[in-house]
Amino acid sequence: MFYTYVLETIAEPKHYYVGSTEELVVRLADHNAGRSPHTSKHRPWKVVWYAAFSTRAKAEMFERYLKTASGRAFQKKHL
């Protein structure tokens, strides 16, 4: 399975990050260990939402959608 996920910082002010991976638990540990330059300065993170997809292409396509303006609006309304 492949996952698209939304992370939220535990500390204030809240920051969000959208990504996709095949190993969600391992990827969250990487984010919290500072192994991702985009998320290292806002640690620690928690998963607030994820969806499973049968293919990597579908997960990446939904990740790209969530990073658009309409995708961010979708997140605020539904997630």
Q: pLDDT per residue over 18-68, tens digit each?
A: 999 999 999 999 999 999 999 999 999 999 999 999 999 999 999 999 999
In whole angstroms, what is the distance from residue 14 CA to residue 62 CA? 22
Each residue's pLDDT tens digit, 6-31: 999 999 999 999 999 999 999 999 99
In whole angstroms, what is the distance from residue 43 CA to residue 8 CA? 9
Total structural domains in the chain? 1
Q: Which residues touch 48 (CB under 8 Å, ≥6 apart)? A: 6, 7, 8, 16, 79
- Cβ 7 vs Cβ 52: under 8 Å: no
Structural domain harbouring 31? 2-78
Which CATH number fits the domain that encloses residue 69? 3.40.1440
Model pTM greater than 0.75? yes
- Cβ 6 vs Cβ 47: under 8 Å: yes
